[in-house]
Amino acid sequence: MADPTDFQFDLPPDRHWPPVPLAERIHKNAWAAADGCASLRGAAPQETVRAIVIHATAGAATAGAVSVMEAGRASFHWIVPGKDEKAHGVHVWATCPERLAAWHVRRSCSHPDICAGENNLNRSSLGIEIVNRQNGADPFSDWQIEAAADIVRYVAGKYPNLAHVVSHARLDPTRRTDPGVNFPWAEFKAMVLN
């Protein structure tokens, strides 16, 4: 069985991927909440963004994850809607401006590749949430995997220093397991790189 704490791959450093349009829509409530649950980065995202982190919500719908932002507890840059939602198959939601460091990884977490052992990975990363119950019985849809890969390809064309694609479980292995054992990491990686 796949181990989400192993989920990581690197983007080719010499890539010349043209910026691609992303089928995204701004989630108004999340966007409005972002100032209260995200921080300023130390520098522009073009310089600081070195990683993109894949999460799953452990919930049934976008609204549940957005309510966490509205409560000021955590945040993320995009969310891929669940199978039962109207936006599924159509677009992802942009939930926090990329210029802000969303609060998607615990502050004390560190990773040698991403921030040279320093903490506060949020400053040097972007975060994607994917709606999934995380109960072992809720498969991700093909569209959700494609949509997450599209976001990664979109940011890969935009941020030259972006080098690492990692799971939340990889960054916080004692406390987090997302995006979970059901996430088809190999398939996702192939979609991003091919």
Q: What is the contact surface with Zn ion in residues (CB under 5 A)?
A: 55, 168, 178
Q: How far is the CB of 47 from Zn ion (least distance, A)?
A: 25
68 vs 160 by CB, closer to Zn ion: 68
53 vs 162 by CB, closer to Zn ion: 53
122 vs 141 by CB, closer to Zn ion: 122
109 vs 162 by CB, closer to Zn ion: 109
Which residue, among 140, 120, 153, has the nearest Cα to 56 in the 3D structure? 140
157 vs 173 by CB, closer to Zn ion: 173
Q: How far is the CB of 74 from Zn ion (least distance, A)?
A: 9
Q: How far is the CB of 190 from Zn ion (least distance, A)?
A: 23
Q: How far is the CB of 17 from Zn ion (least distance, A)?
A: 26
Q: How far is the CB of 34 from Zn ion (least distance, A)?
A: 17
